[in-house]
Chains A and B, each alone.
Chain A
């Protein structure tokens, strides 16, 4: 089957980026936006066509989905086996990611036409969006781990550029730097992991690394370190990189700040696509994670995921900035995906967690993008991020209201929405594996419903605030993506995802686990109910509750002081104590010795510069003296 045209899926956004980037001062904003949307539409159509062709025209061969290499070229050749390739790898998860990235990116492109209208640097914005989309495509279709790493960094760069889009705003610049530095710090782990893995396994290629019957998994690598195989260490380090990108605790601190970027950017990068790169990485390397050392690393993944999920959900309940609530919600949901991967098995129905994770990734991308875009629509109308500036908006913004409501229902796991199905799969996978993780998940589901409806009721119901000018519904370019995403927040639930994506690629029959599903739905409904009581009408219950919890509330409100802890560690301990001694050494020893050499040169030249009198007769005198001295020397020698 020929899939070589898939090369154009990433290349079109790249060309759009170059075109818009080079001509960004020349083009009219309208034209630039149109070019961006058209370019991405082409990529999107190609992605859909690829998905159709892969799943339905080719389908399973011998009951298993095959891996296709659409295109491949060797970029750097180290040895016979070890070489860095650039290419397109097509398998169920990469195709699913292509569909997700295309869909969300296209929606964001269209939405931005309205949202970013009249902003300075509109063309630059579209150029960066294209760059990001190109990098994300490159990441998901990577044929080998090094290609993935390259695009992983490119994604980080474009994220940096887009967060810092309002570069005249100091907080945006700080947030961009923070996001870049934190993820870069985590990527160091990823890089070291890649180097260890490739050193011992002798290849970068996913197909060789992930082959369950392959030499690496069945024989293992003899070398071990501190009781664990080196491959395990490599996988842990790579998970650190993934945790950085996916904002897992304790590397999550950049994500809330990243909300300084334009809202559509948050929807695209910090909700649906880039932040799930860590999940995708673990899923991509899943056979290795599962088989090496009996899935030791997967345990870590599961607990980190569960903890982050809980941690972020608790913080989300106390935040007042709607985008920050959504950011913490994203962290929480990605934690969900991580824990699902962590509890997954490999064969057939045991791989439920893997499938559930991918399923949730898919559905979450849709409804979280919708939530962000809806929030963007609200912010566009009231020019504020804060919940206290909003209320009673349902009358002014009916479409935003309904679509936001659908998304909130979906993320809360309300029956018959897509979130319900994916969340149920995750919970039943967790239930089979570990009761602790299951209960954490269940509690988080309740919290999710609560904070989501907290912001929903605060924005669209509650007491009507006085606005400077009457809020109005957003233009069509913004509402159409909202409506489409609202449909996509419900419809995917009815796809039999387990037919298409499973750890061993064979597919299996997934059923609703009714007792678990009912428990989850009830938990969600309780969360919604509490939010309803608290926030539907203006009342003082929330204040009372927050007073009751007192210190814990303040602690949570300040995100458990993790940022302050990092600042303390970096500023007080590293800068003042560790760095100070180095700084002293640098200043006193290295600088001073250099300055001393310079000073000595200046002083000595000051003394001997008189010789350079400019009088050529003096020079002649010295020359003749030297000549006579040489003659005398040779005479004496003879």
Chain B
């Protein structure tokens, strides 16, 4: 992402940790630091903020009812009255996308949180545990890797039935191995790093080293990967919904919207394109924001 290069790596604003005695950072200083934030990151932050508001308080963004049927206005294209058009029952698509944000975001965040949770446990066990534990976890992950995420998720949803919960679990389980492998690698490199050795040499206890050095440093790259993962999880969940394994209609969840619009794709393109754009916008914005955060966290590194 070329936008990150606008930020010189040694700029004061990129300092990864504020000083313990950082009372002196003035408001004007912070404002000028903000001016150095690339446009892409600002736009992404605005997009993310929009969807967060949509999830928490959809009424602030639309006065309509996502379930209000108006057959006289069925299948209208985007217009001043219906920004994103209407569906086969005359429901306003913009209102439905806004109201669907909560479930979609919940799936995205929930699945990612679950995946990261599993991954941290497996990754730490594998990176710190005995050799046989590492072998077991690594082999297990390899087996999971052999199956496509969607296949695993489909299997799970088929067994337990489609709902938000099963989608969260299905996508979370499916994407966990990737994170787990990353954390294992991080743990291994941090464990043998100079600063962990230095901490041992200072006589710090294992628990203290785990808490102060290992966990924060091993999970550091997660910040960026997680924001990427939220968007990706929504895409996975939408894929499930598109296959009819998602949240059931008339829910306005984005995947369900895509699934419902499938039948009308030849004469009402907006039913597919608009929810799709919402997914892309959120995924793209959270990814860009994630990269920006990462480049700031690691900005001071050469």
Do A and B pair up? The answer is no
